[in-house]
Each structure stands twice: as structure tokens, then as C-alpha cells.
């Protein structure tokens, strides 16, 4: 069971739900320390006091706010914990909004909220089910680590999740980064939509959603531990386009769609692009049909002409079929 990160309560109108905050994610990446490569001695960062010119322990270190170069205001952890804020020990729900109205750029780390004892079980379940049925998320404020934060509450299975959020003014305006003067054809957009359709899936399960970098690091460490050379790098992928080279966007999209189809075992018959050959053939046939509708007089005249020509012409031997 993960340890408790923070304890407090969810304030939902006049309803209070005591909770524990626990981590919702795990970090499986490998951690490296710094070493002196010559003798593999551990390299550490030591904390020194500039005035006393000596190393200090963690117990002697605290926070301070620098007003000027010569004036620093000390701030104790106890003072931060006792700030006169309603969010100091509570997650204050400010309102409810559709999830689609929240910019994912502002959504951060997620934490599970666990009800604190049997007393909190019923109001906790009430809030969870109300959130679930409303199809909305709660926007709340809370204070952690010396600052007030914005958060989002949502439901994941049977548990309420708290996501840290950035304040709106902390998200930079991206408008100046958008490319200007670029025109796209409808064919290019349609081809890109087909590529998205080919790559659409229902979940994130599969080989392509595994951390192969960490797996490769484990193989390198195991090989070196056993005295072997690290595994050789795999074959390089497709050659990348040279910087500044003009890309044939349509060709790249079509190749990507074909590659996506091949990876799913689909053949060319999956294409729905109809060529206009059948339509052309139908038109030619339609033009020839009226020629069959001749009058009886014309038909009789043609038959008489054929008989006359047959009497005047010398009969030929029939040709052999090939």
C-alpha cells in the first residue's frame, strides 16, 4: 500500500469528507548516481554555509525569502502549515465543469484519494457517484508545500482521483508558435484523416506501449555485470529526411496509410477509391444501343443489298480457325 502523502478533507458544500492522499503512479525508470570514473568513488553534493565556510546538516537548513542581497526573511515549515487559508487542510471544491472544457496542458500528476475511516466512507461514496452520474469533474483549490494550488477531481473506477493543475496564467500563449502562410489541399487533409483512422485503437495495450528504453538499460547492466559486451544496437530505421529538404507530403501520407494497413494485415482491397472506368464503359454502351432500333424498311433494304453482293462476289474458301 503506498504511503500517505497528505491528509485533510474534501469540502463539498457543507459536506466534509476526511481523506488521505496517496500516489497513483509508479516510476519504474532506473536511477543513476554520479561517480568519479577514475576510481568509481561516489560524487556527492555537499551543502555549505557561505558565512561559516562549513558543511551543514539537513536539520540546520530552512527556507528564506530574499528581499534584497543583504536582507533575507526566514520562513519556517510550521508557519507554512499554519497559514490562515481554508485550503490549508482541505480540498475546497469551487465548482463543476465538463472534462472537455479543461485544457490538458494544465493537468498534472494524479493522486488517489482514500476515505479516512468508516465515518468518511458514506460521504466519499456519495461524492464519487454524484461525479460519475453528472459526467463532470470538480475544480478545487488546496495548499501543499507552501503554495495554494488548483486541482481537478474525477472518478477512476471506484476511487476519486485528484489531479494537480496549473493556474490559467501559468500556461503560455502558443499562438506565436503557429506556422503562417501554409496552405493544405483537401486531398492531403483527407489522406491524413485516413491515416488517423487506420491508427485508431480502443486501448493502449500492446508491445508498442511498453518502456523499451528501460528494458534495454537492464540488458546493458546485466551484460556488463557478467563481463560481456553490451548488446549491439538494432538496425537503424528508415532514413530520416535531410534538414531543409522539401517533403512530398502526399506521398508520405499514402506510404504511412499503406504501412498502417500492412501492420494490421489489411490488403489493398480495403481501399474505397473507385476508378471511373465502369462509368465510361456504361456511357459507350448507351450510345450504341439506339443504333439497333432501325425501321423495317431500312432492314429490308440492307438484306436485299447483301443478297445482291453475294451473287456478284466469287465465293472464297472458308478460313481455318487458328
- Tell me: do 193 and 123 sit in the same domain: no
Q: Of 303 and 158, which is predicted with more confidence?
A: 158
Q: What is the pLDDT of residue 234?
A: 61
For residue 99, give the CATH number of its domain. Answer: 2.40.290.10
Q: What is the pLDDT of residue 283?
A: 43
Q: What is the pLDDT of residue 121?
A: 95
Indicate the pTM of the whole model. Answer: 0.63
**Whether pLDDT at 200 is above 70:** yes
Q: Residues with Cβ < 8 Å from 95, sequence gap 6 or more?
A: 138, 139
Classify residue 35: in a domain, yes or no: no
Give the residue-averaged pLDDT of 186-213.
85
Give the residue-averaged pLDDT of 48-53.
92
Buried residues in 118-137 as b, exposed as e (16+ CB within 10 A) = eebeebbeebbeebeeeebb
- Tell me: do 91 and 118 sit in the same domain: yes
Helical residues (DSSP H) of the chain, grouped into ranges: 77-81, 118-134, 186-198, 212-225, 249-263, 277-288, 296-312
- Tell me: do 151 and 193 sit in the same domain: no
pLDDT tens for 22-32 read: 999 888 888 89
- Tell me: do 121 and 195 sit in the same domain: no
**Whether pLDDT at 282 is above 50:** no
**Whether pLDDT at 280 is above 80:** no
- Tell me: do 21 and 92 sit in the same domain: yes
Q: What is the pLDDT of residue 294?
A: 45
Strand 107-115 and strand 15-23: the pairing is antiparallel
Q: Of 272 and 88, which is predicted with more confidence?
A: 88
Q: What is the pLDDT of residue 245?
A: 58
Q: What is the pLDDT of residue 201?
A: 83
Range of the domain at 191: 183-199+251-265
Amino acid at each position: 500500500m503506498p504511503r500517505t502523502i497528505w491528509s485533510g478533507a474534501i469540502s463539498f458544500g457543507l459536506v466534509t469528507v476526511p481523506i488521505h492522499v496517496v500516489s497513483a503512479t509508479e516510476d519504474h525508470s532506473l536511477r543513476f548516481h554520479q561517480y568519479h570514473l577514475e576510481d568509481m568513488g561516489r560524487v556527492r553534493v555537499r551543502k555549505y554555509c557561505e558565512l561559516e565556510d562549513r558543511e551543514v546538516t539537513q536539520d540546520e537548513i530552512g527556507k528564506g525569502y530574499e528581499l534584497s542581497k543583504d536582507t533575507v526573511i526566514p520562513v519556517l515549515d510550521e508557519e507554512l502549515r499554519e497559514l490562515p487559508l481554508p485550503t490549508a487542510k482541505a480540498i475546497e471544491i469551487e465548482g463543476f465543469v465538463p472534462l472537455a472544457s479543461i485544457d490538458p496542458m494544465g493537468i498534472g500528476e494524479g493522486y488517489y484519494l482514500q476515505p479516512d475511516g468508516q465515518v468518511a466512507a458514506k460521504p466519499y461514496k456519495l461524492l464519487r457517484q454524484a461525479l460519475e452520474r453528472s459526467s463532470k469533474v470538480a475544480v478545487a483549490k488546496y495548499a501543499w508545500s507552501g503554495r495554494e494550488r488548483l486541482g481537478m477531481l474525477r472518478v477512476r473506477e471506484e476511487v476519486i482521483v485528484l489531479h494537480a493543475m496549473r493556474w490559467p496564467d501559468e500556461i503560455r500563449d502558443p499562438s506565436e508558435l503557429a506556422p503562417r502562410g501554409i496552405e493544405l489541399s483537401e486531398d492531403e487533409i483527407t489522406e491524413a484523416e485516413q491515416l488517423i483512422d487506420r491508427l485508431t485503437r480502443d486501448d493502449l495495450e500492446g508491445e508498442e506501449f511498453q518502456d523499451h528504453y528501460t528494458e534495454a538499460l537492464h540488458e546493458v547492466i546485466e551484460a556488463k555485470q557478467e563481463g560481456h559486451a553490451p548488446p549491439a544496437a538494432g538496425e537503424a530505421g528508415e532514413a530520416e529526411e535531410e534538414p531543409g529538404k522539401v517533403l512530398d507530403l502526399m506521398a508520405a501520407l499514402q506510404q504511412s496509410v499503406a504501412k498502417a494497413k500492412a501492420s494490421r494485415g489489411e490488403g489493398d482491397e480495403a481501399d474505397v477509391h473507385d476508378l471511373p472506368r465502369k462509368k465510361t464503359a456504361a456511357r459507350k454502351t448507351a450510345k450504341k444501343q439506339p443504333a439497333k432500333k432501325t425501321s423495317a424498311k431500312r432492314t429490308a433494304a440492307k438484306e436485299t443489298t447483301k443478297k445482291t453482293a453475294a451473287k456478284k462476289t466469287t465465293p472464297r474458301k472458308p478460313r481455318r480457325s487458328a
